[in-house]
Amino acid sequence: MFAHPDDAEFMCGGTVARWTRDGCAVHYVVVTDGSAGSNEPGVTREELRPIRDREQRAAAEVLGVDSVTFLGEVDGMLEVTLDTRRRVTREVRRLRPDVIVAPDPSRLWFGNGYINHSDHKVAGLLALSTVMPDAPTRLMFPELLDEGIEPFEVPNLWLGSNEPDTFVDITETLDIKLKALAQHVSQGVEGAEPRVRERARELGEQAGYEYAEGFKAFRFVDDDEEES
């Protein structure tokens, strides 16, 4: 679950490629419409929306993602409201994932050259809200019950964090991640490969791999209960 088209490829594209290669079903929930993804004079939100949609679906196809759902919130204006919480909860209860991967809402910046986008932080807060209390609590959004969508307790949450404690070896899938990123032509990603490789190499050094992606992982189920 992420804010904009291309966020998932940057955050976890190598992990997604590895999971789908190993037979896992992966579903994308894109919270905004990506319509603010240009500073070019004269470009409108109406022009950008279908472009960002098309690019995201192309990237997902490269990675083997099963489905892509756009919630359509306006890019740059995302907020935590009862409506956005309900919309995210509907998808989580519908998909019933083993793991939610989402941005870390506590990530305010990275190094001295990057300030995190407000939408990224809000998407992370929405992920936390759906884990508790929204998705598992029957009395939260009872109108979803009328749609036949039952509560669901999320077993695992992985946040794309500056301080990861869980790593995925993407040495064999980094090139697929880069191919997926290349689908986002409107975002000028052709110059991103060196920094993407460097970041994956830095995380790999922490984990003992050539290249890796890292996450802050939360587990909410008891292993013995799960086995039984």
The reply to whether the predicted model has a pTM over 0.85 is yes
Confidence of residue 186 (pLDDT cuts 50, 70, 90): very high
Mean per-residue pLDDT of the chain: 96
Nearest residue to 209 via CA among 7, 38, 18? 18
Mean pLDDT of all residues in 46-64: 98
CA atoms of 29 and 223, how far apart (whole Å): 27
What is the b/e burial string over 176-209, where b = at least 16 CB atoms within 10 angstroms of the residue's CB?
A: bbbebbbbbebbebeebeeebeebbeebbeebeb
Q: Is a pLDDT exceeding 80 seen at residue 226?
A: no
Question: What are 131-162's pLDDT values in tens digits?
Answer: 999 999 999 999 999 999 999 999 999 999 99
pLDDT more than 70, % of the chain: 98
pLDDT of residue 222: 83
Mean pLDDT of all residues in 70-94: 98
pLDDT of residue 214: 98
pLDDT of residue 32: 98
58: exposed, middle or buried (Cβ count in 10 Å: 0-12, 13-18, 19+): middle
Question: What are 110-125's pLDDT values in tens digits?
Answer: 999 999 999 999 999 9
Return the beta strands (E) in the chain as ranges: 27-32, 67-73, 99-103, 109-110, 114-115, 156-160, 166-169, 212-219
pLDDT of residue 224: 65
pLDDT of residue 75: 98
